[in-house]
Amino acid sequence: MAFQVLVICFISTIVFASILMLWRKHSKTLLPPSPKALPIIGHLHLLSPIPHQDFHKLSIRYGPIMHLFLGSVPCVVASTAEAAKEFLKTHEPSFSNRPAQTVAIEAFSYGFQDFLFAPYGPGWKLMKKLCMTELLGGRMLDQFLPVRQQETKIFIQRVLQKGIAAEAVDFGAELMTLSINIVSRMTVSQTSSDNQNKAEEMRKLVSDVAELIGKFNISDCIWFLKRFDLQGFNKRLKETRDRFDALLDGIIKQREKERRNDNQTGGTRPFKDMLDVLLDMFEDENSEMKLNKENVKAFIMDLFVAGTDTSSVTIEWAMAELINHPHVLEKARQEIDVVVGKSRIVEESDIVNLPYLQAIVRETFRLHPAGPLIVRESSRSAVVCGYDIPAKTRLFVNVWAIGRDPNHWKNPFEFRPERFTENGQSQLDVRGQHFHLLPFGSGRRGCPGTSLALQVVHVNLAVMIQCFQWKVDSGNGKVDMEEKSGITLPRAHPLICAVVPRFNPFPNM
């Protein structure tokens, strides 16, 4: 088998090189600048497991728009706000598709039957309408405000107990549990905090799914390797997908049983969660959007994966920056003490009156965007900034690099929230209108969960600042800021702190 693969690689190298030479000789298209490619692998040898950093380094040499081949996949990378605006606004109709080539996305989206990865078209537009009006609209968010408040209090109690017991706290794990509890209750009216084993299972599943979607799989890039599982990727993918699928099947079957019992007894649920909304549409033959069970599970998968890891890693990065910049942390505490006081914890309604806290979150979004790369695919050929971009070209907008562009940010590598309180920057929008700050994407395929994410991140970072002091066990008292690979932007090392209670909202503890 190994000899056969070697022969195939050798023959394919010759064929690929010949085709590439002929194509370059006769092609009249003007592609963006590109590094020298190798046969078969293209530019894969230039990339590490953290591609947004590699794209940034390459853009310094090859410019704000460059062309790459990831194996046999043609790609274009945009690394400045101006280039991002051209792709995501001026030419948005040509770049509204998500790439559908990866086996991980196909598996976890149930064959692209979800919202995040479904191809652009009439069906996707109905899915977006469902998300924006029903699942993640203002009415649903207002309905679940008490749930978010309860989970924040439970989170504070857990951290307080560990602080009182002088136990170190792994904030990555704790924040992930908080996010999963919030999304679980909003989606399926279940909280994993009721069962520690279930909490750990769900946290591990979400983490594994996010890792696999973001993990490089060579078979996705080199067409003749698709039948070979050289990295053991497909085996792990199937195991994780089956575990998550079994979990979702159990939840849905239990809910359907409860709904049948309610119909028979005339009972009603106190309020509908997101699963109820999806099942209503699934059971309604006259619904504008026809859902099947795979659609329902794919939507729930999206909500768990996109709505948990992103919020938790953002808060974790913000905490790490505040530990490394104690003067910023102290200024934030003073603001909260003045505006909120010490008789109650911060609430979502307080955030509008905490401009410095908002600036800290924006600065975290700038340096540590949860989605460092916006990924699209061209549905048709387009001319962008004078370059010919063929159809079926994968687009990477490097949000991470844009947040470090010295043409838009003074001292771009410095964590300085004050930049968002000066010169009118306090009004800088994070919802995709300003292309030098794109933490939630832009346009039609911008993140539908932006409002929920902003509420969760702001209020829970605020209560951490208000209720605790954090200390890291390191020689200089600093936290390392190394990243690791993933579909989001996880920290390479867990943020583990000793916690000293500063304000106890539960005096009986």
Annotated binding site for heme: 447
Residue partners of 185: CB distance under 8 A and separation at least 6? 144, 147, 151, 191, 273
Letter for the amino acid at 218? I
Letter for the amino acid at 453? A
- Alpha carbons within 13 angstroms on the beta-carbon side of residue 145 total 9
In total, the chain counts a number of residues equal to: 509
Q: How far apart are CA 400 and CA 364, in angstroms?
A: 11
Task: Compute the chain's Rg from CA coordinates.
Answer: 24
Positions at the binding site: 447
Task: Record the tokens describing residue 204, joined without a space.
Answer: 């591990």
DSSP secondary structure letter of residue 230: T
SS3 395: strand
DSSP bridge partners of 397: 78, 374
Cβ atoms of 480 and 321 within 8 Å: the answer is no
Residue from 116, 101, 192, 110 nearest 154 by CA: 192
Cβ atoms of 401 and 52 within 8 Å: the answer is yes
Cβ atoms of 112 and 299 within 8 Å: the answer is no
Residue from 120, 194, 123, 198 nearest 380 by CA: 120
DSSP bridge partners of 69: 74
Cβ atoms of 308 and 314 within 8 Å: the answer is no
Q: How far apart are CA 238 and CA 96, in angstroms?
A: 29
Task: Record the tokens describing residue 378, joined without a space.
Answer: 């061209």
